[in-house]
Chain A
């Protein structure tokens, strides 16, 4: 199928009863927010600063409300269906990876509702950024994992591939806006996708990393890697596979709420006991935990690495700590 770009606004408008989120600038930050004017969408520039996990796992979300002194607890579980438009393949894969955590053992009720009620319309990356390394992590600029529809930008139009039943439902309401894709269109999309994959210059073979990490527990590399770390937490906040959260109570006037909010294993308070004991007292232990969690513990538990190679932690680190550099060091250390 094919969707002409001048019909994109109509396509989004034709989706009944769902809130469409897409990458839009708020200030200087590109993030997934509700689309009110399709003209504001920025699907073709670089990937969003804030990954679309923020739609199904909001940075801050109310869990329940209660009044001071009252014994009534009112849940604030989410409702409504969403469509995430313009999701990059790496971020869609990341959401499938995070599903493992929220659906492990006991379902997380808040995430479950938001995730089940969301559909993902992806956009193939045709101009990967300098620090992208998705092809090393089992994905690619046109990977379809986690997506319901994949769009590939052909210039005047998008090639539209329906991948799931959810994707099919989205197209049903917009059938009149779509045209048949020719074999030339498909060929053109394939070439663009292959060209993009070839453009990704940063590569690593991470297959040996999970096995090497336990032996490097006391290695001096952790001290070296973390020496310049400021502990700002940006690498985890904006990581599409990071899922850690804090829970706090807050009062405004008569009403209070318990909310949860993104947290980071790079913060000292994250593991600080009330007694003052901290099992991960310095940035050395916290950096070691971050890398071990992504490339060893997560693999032990869920058989997949918690990294999709989106490059955000490299692009955004204020002191240029580079996860690929860390992985290279892990790979090269004598055991």
Chain B
């Protein structure tokens, strides 16, 4: 059996480019070692990234499938593997397998206004869909992006957030930081409070949110207060995973495996599951 038949065997990949996003976040651009495509994917899907012989973990694919030839992963220096991934140089050999999970229902979102609400490193999965929609701009309505980070220095994808996205047609970016630095002129405060302050209308809108578990929890409460309907709210969850193919057991929420049935869930779906994420 070779790579294609054994789903637990990583595909060979090379790190083509590394961007330092923030003091503790790097974005790795990865290409197939044989020069081809690693695999096709949809916005919101994930992949297992291996660094030998350190280990393997699941990361959301932050690039958009509309931009072919590479995959991008935004990785926060948090644990053993991510620390090691922060130490590699361009040209490093890594393993990638995937894609895993169900992506965002971007077909269902066609013709709708989109509200993205993100916090910290969790812009990564949203970015894939944002760039997908911007690359198919005519198929989607107004795009609003509310994004928060701990400080101005912790804003990831700074060029896109500050320069590229605000220039796109009918696309609005609202930024907030938890703690202001002297050079910060924007909003200061947590994402849920900023969302309530901006108070975007739920009419004709689909909301996609991702952030630390505690941010997601309070954002969902704020959206409920603002009369957003559970079936029009999507989030993408993260769980510790090992296999990615629904065998190793740990990523379950009730009878759903985040690696197979998620990571994208509508709030209506989440409300049917035990509150254990």
Give me the interface of A with B, judged by CB distance under 8 Å: 63-64, 66, 68, 71, 73, 75, 77, 101-102, 104-106, 108-110, 214, 217, 243-251, 256-258, 260, 263, 265, 270-275, 277, 279-280, 285, 289, 292-293, 296-298, 300-301
Contact = CB atoms under 8 A, between A and B. Distances in A.
Contacts of A71: 12, 33, 93
B52 interface: yes
B158 interface: no
Interface centre among B8, B50, B52, B82 (most CB of A within 10 A): B52
A300 B10 CA distance: 31
Given A109-B7, A274-B79, A75 B1 contact: yes
A273 B79 CA distance: 9
Interface string B242-277: 110111111011110000100000000000001011
Contacts of A279: 213, 239, 253, 276-277
Q: Is the interface of B mostly helix, strand, loop or mixed?
A: loop
B78 A275 contact: yes
Contact of A68 (B2, B53, B252, B253): B53
20 contacts: A68-B53, A73-B9, A73-B12, A73-B95, A75-B6, A105-B245, A108-B247, A109-B7, A109-B8, A246-B242, A249-B55, A263-B249, A270-B250, A271-B240, A273-B238, A274-B57, A275-B78, A275-B212, A277-B213, A293-B252
B53 A263 contact: no
A63 B95 CA distance: 14
Nearest to A272: B240
B83 to A, nearest CB: 10
A105 B260 contact: yes
Interface in B213-255: 213, 238-240, 242-243, 245-250, 252-255
Nearest to B53: A256
Interface in B1-55: 1-2, 5-10, 12, 33, 50, 52-55
What 10 A-B pairs are tightest by C-beta distance, nearest first? Answer: A244-B249, A274-B79, A256-B53, A297-B255, A300-B255, A249-B53, A274-B78, A247-B242, A109-B6, A106-B245
A273 B200 CA distance: 33
Nearest to A105: B246
B52 A245 contact: no
Contacts of A280: 276
B242 A109 contact: no
B54 A265 contact: no
B8 A63 contact: yes
Contacts of B78: 274-275
A104 B29 CA distance: 33
B72 interface: no
B144 interface: no
Interface centre among B5, B7, B81, B248 (most CB of A within 10 A): B248
Contacts of B5: 109
B240 A273 contact: yes
Contact of A271 (B246, B250, B260): B250
B253 to A, nearest CB: 8
A279 B214 CA distance: 12
Nearest to B3: A73
Contacts of A102: 247
A108 B248 CA distance: 10
A81 B12 CA distance: 31
B12 to A, nearest CB: 6
B247 A248 contact: no
A272 B249 CA distance: 13
Contacts of B2: 75
A260 to B, nearest CB: 8
A101 B247 contact: yes
Contact of B254 (A73, A249, A274, A297): A297
Nearest to A256: B53
Given A256-B52, A274-B79, A247 B255 contact: no
Nearest to B33: A71
Nearest to A252: B53
Nearest to B277: A279
B277 A245 contact: no
Contacts of A265: 249-250
